[in-house]
Structure 1
Amino acid sequence: MKKLFLLLLISILTLTMFTGCSQPNNNNMNLNKNKNDTVLSAKDTIQPVASSSTPIGDFKAQDVKGNQVTKDIFSNYDLTLVNLFTTWCSPCVKEIPELNEVAKEMANKKVNVVGIVLDVNENGKIDQSKMDKLNKIIEATKADYTILLPDEVLRSGPLKGVNSVPETFFVDKNGNIVGENYLGSHTKEEWIKIINDELAKLNK
């Protein structure tokens, strides 16, 4: 019985390591758990979470080169995959090349990919050591889609309550969050199937 329990525990821990990371308890982040939050299990990290159509907000974020980015980034695409990640999350980093391939393959369907890194400017100021790490990640993974550092509008809106990464949601051309949220990392093939499903629902 003990051996069975240990095998089950090891399996759960392994699945968690490869699919998603829980956020650390950091009082400076709008990603903290409170007593009413549900703690994600390994099983939860690979399940879609129902989401309603809500505006993403009039944010003014910046990309990794310091350029201002607003919700206009969504206007030229029918659907944009928005991937939330941190520099310390291994599954997040391993997923970046998959997302690169998704962006290339789905461009002809007017689908875009945008990343939002959550831990580089947690206090409203850029942590240069984390920014340096992010740039190394971008170089190593050859990330060529837009990666944003969120502003307060994003942190107090769609990013509020995020306690596990990677997490992904979709935005339509009007800047509305649509479809479902997806927890955990996915392969290119899995993402393409999910995107096609979300496009089908969008066009109904």
Structure 2
Amino acid sequence: MKNTLKKLLIMIMAIMLIGSLTACGSQKDNVKNQSSNTSIFPNFNATDFQGNQFTQNMFKDNPVTVLNIWFTGCQACVSEMPQLETLSKELKEKGVALVGVCIDDVSMDKTIYAQAEKILKDNNITYPNLIMEHGEEIDNYLNNIFAFPTTLLIDREGNIIGEPIVGSIDNQKQIDDLNNRIDKIIENDKQ
């Protein structure tokens, strides 16, 4: 009986370990359906790692903004960054912005700030990465994301379009699907 219980515990721990290594929460069910609660991304004030200020008005500049939400302890978030950097340059040609949001509380912990900065530098990231200022609306929204990375498509009115993309964007099929979604939003923007 003890051996069976021991084997069962080892199996459970192995399954949990494998699940945690595949992504920092890559199951679609781990994200509450944000679009059913609200179709508009919450108002926010943010600063990027170069000190530039951003608000929700940034969405007005492009027919689509791809918003990638990540944190420093998420290996899947960090490992997709080089692909996102390449994608950001391709999207720029379409008039689409790619913006990262680091949800670590870097304002309270300078070590985490330095770690986030190092991750961006080591991956040669040039697209903006924001640090959100605390506010009830944005904090509530971000605290309801349970899987990382999570990527949202936001139109120029600030509307979240479609379901969030949960997990890394790290293969050609995912990139093609993302581009198809972006093209449809751009087409709707022209009407």
TM-score tier (shorter): 0.7 to 0.9
Among candidates 36, 40, 48, match of residue 55 of structure 1:
40
TM-score normalised to the size of structure 1?
0.73
Query: Unpaired segments of 5 or more residues in structure 1?
Result: 22-41
| Secondary structure of 1:177 counterpart | coil
Among candidates 15, 18, 26, match of residue 14 of structure 1:
18
Higher strand share: 1
Aligned equivalent of 2:72: 87
- How far residue 167 of structure 1 moved from its aligned partner, in angstroms, is 1.2
Higher helix share: 2
TM-score normalised to the size of structure 2?
0.78
Structure 1: distance between partners of 2:50 and 2:108 = 12
Aligned equivalent of 1:130: 112
Q: Which amino acid aligns with 2:39?
A: T
- How far residue 152 of structure 1 moved from its aligned partner, in angstroms, is 2.6
Are 2:146 and 1:163 equivalent residues in the alignment?
Answer: yes
Query: Unpaired segments of 5 or more residues in structure 2?
Result: none
| Secondary structure of 1:55 counterpart | coil
Aligned equivalent of 1:176: 159
1:18–1:185 Cα contact (<8 Å) kept: no
Q: Deviations over 1:137-178 (max 9, x none)?
A: 111001111100112346335313122211111111122222
Percent identical among aligned pairs is 26
Aligned equivalent of 2:98: 113
Alignment of 1:188-199 (within 5 A): 189-199=172-182
| Secondary structure of 2:61 counterpart | coil
Aligned equivalent of 1:144: 126
1:51–1:180 Cα contact (<8 Å) kept: yes
- How far residue 179 of structure 1 moved from its aligned partner, in angstroms, is 1.2
Q: Which amino acid aligns with 1:18?
A: T
- How far residue 189 of structure 1 moved from its aligned partner, in angstroms, is 2.2
